Structure 1
Amino acid sequence: MNYKIIEKESFKIVGVKREFSCVNGQNQVEIPKMWNDVHADGTNDLLFQLNTGQIKGVLGVCVDKRDSQSQLMDYWIATDHTGNTPEGLLELKIPASKWGVFEVHGAMPDAMQTAWKQIFSEWFPSSQYKHAGTPDLEVYTNGNPSSPDYYSEIWIPLK
């Protein structure tokens, strides 16, 4: 598993979000449907055009809201954007952090879901890092996400 550790100042994302249940992996079934929707309605293309920040690509942003009463998460499809938030989109500030940036190779959504499992079952237990508790990022580059050669990344905030 190829990764690097970087530090990045806070930044703003703009995009759309939905709330999902994490019970019985429901989020892993519903999030790919959200991606289908943003491809069909043109939001994905708009986000690539609005990508004026340092992270190049469209982001899947996981905001864990799980606690003792709730098994919910917000999932954003967004982009790193400087400037005003365009009408019809929401914004979220991502705090400054140390990040583990993990390479993901392969077709979506399987390659991404497999990488998440590896990070939490293999990498975290063998590293000195803990999850910082702020949003995670999936970075999707411009290209064919169905290609076996497709490149993407997972950014995890670390402490």
Structure 2
Amino acid sequence: MLERLNEAMAHVECHLDQRIDVAELARIALTSEYHFRRMFSALAGMPLSEYVRRRRLTIAAAEVTAGERTLLDIAVRHGYGSTEAFNRAFRAMHGVGPGEARRTGAVLRSQQRLSFRLVVEGSGSMRYHVVEKPEFRLVGRRARVPLVHEGMNPAIVAFVRSIAPETVARIEALSDQEPAGIVHASDKLGDDREEGAELDYWYAVVTGAEVPEGLEQVTVPAGTWAVFETSGEFPAAVQHLWRDVFTQWFPANPYRSRPGPEISRTRLSADGTQADAELWIPVERTAA
């Protein structure tokens, strides 16, 4: 898998002056476009689109300082329709505009080429099992919130606090299958999973029951789910589990992610600082 990812990175380097075809990158990596984007952002710590932007602006900076092409030529060569758009992007990365960089020889930033390699860290193992679930519903309350990778998500905290206790009781009473009880689900998140990107957050239960008036629902098709378990400090343990699933478990197992909500069930300690949690990820087997 890592060898294939590195082949995809080589393809990016050869096509920085063209539109990057993510479907072709996924084909090289022998996976789906959906899974490739998620794997890349988990392993690289940034969305694929951001990496490509930084690499292009790194190459553009070398051309700016060389002084052999006009700034408009460089802008067009790297996919910008105007010098104004190029100036904004260049300044956002390098801290100075391209004209000033050319005149003064200012200090610039470089995005190094990414390559992936295996690093052995300890002998820990992940607790998981794989289950087949028939079609079910998520029923409860939904809000559109920004993605937060580390720490508490203020928008989610505010939303959950706004749900009346009697509504929570109505929702919880509908739970009739695993994962049991109130769950937290993330759905309709952009492929790159960039910090601040919006997603549908569900405070809900997994059920086959009819939906009472006043509650929302989404139907989840039948499919395969990988279920991971963790215990530790809240919310870090849950957030780190998601990271470890994509950076450690997927590269070592014959599965890839598929579209669908990612569901967590969390049981907090009395003081709210520790948690036992399950993470349900929709998956499919890869070809042998």
Q: TM-score of the superposition, structure 1-length normalised? A: 0.80
How big is each residue's C-alpha offset from its partner over 1:109-155, in whole Å with a ceiling of 9 and x where there is no partner?
2221121111122112222211111111112358758263x422100
Which has the larger share of helix? 2
Change over 3 Å in CA distance of 1:55–1:99 after alignment to 2: same
2:164 to 30, 33, 41: 41
Contact 1:63 1:73 in 2 (8 A): yes
Secondary structure class of the residue paired with 1:57: coil
Give the CA RMSD over aligned residues: 2.9
Q: Counterpart in 1 of 2:257?
A: 131
TM-superposed deviation, 1:57: 1.7
Aligned identity (percent) is 26
Q: Does residue 2 of the first structure (1) align with residue 127 of the second (2)?
A: yes
Which amino acid is 1:48 matched to? E
Which deviates more from structure 2 when the two are superposed, residues 117-126 or residues 72-81? 117-126
Contact 2:143 2:159 in 1 (8 A): no
Contact 2:151 2:236 in 1 (8 A): no
Which has the larger share of strand? 1
Q: Does residue 140 of the first structure (1) align with residue 266 of the second (2)?
A: yes
How big is each residue's C-alpha offset from its partner over 1:55-76, in whole Å with a ceiling of 9 and x where there is no partner?
31211111133158x9321110
Taking the aligned partners of 1:49 and 1:142, their CA distance within structure 2 comes to 19
Contact 1:107 1:145 in 2 (8 A): no
Q: Counterpart in 1 of 2:153?
A: 29
1:58 to 182, 191, 204: 182
Q: TM-score of the superposition, structure 2-length normalised? A: 0.47
Change over 3 Å in CA distance of 1:9–1:111 after alignment to 2: same
Task: Mark the structure with the bigger radius of gyration.
Answer: 2
Return 5+ residue gaps in structure 2 as ranges: 1-125
Contact 1:108 1:145 in 2 (8 A): no
Secondary structure class of the residue paired with 1:121: helix
Change over 3 Å in CA distance of 1:54–1:15 after alignment to 2: same
Corresponding residue pairs, total = 155
Return 5+ residue gaps in structure 1 as ranges: none
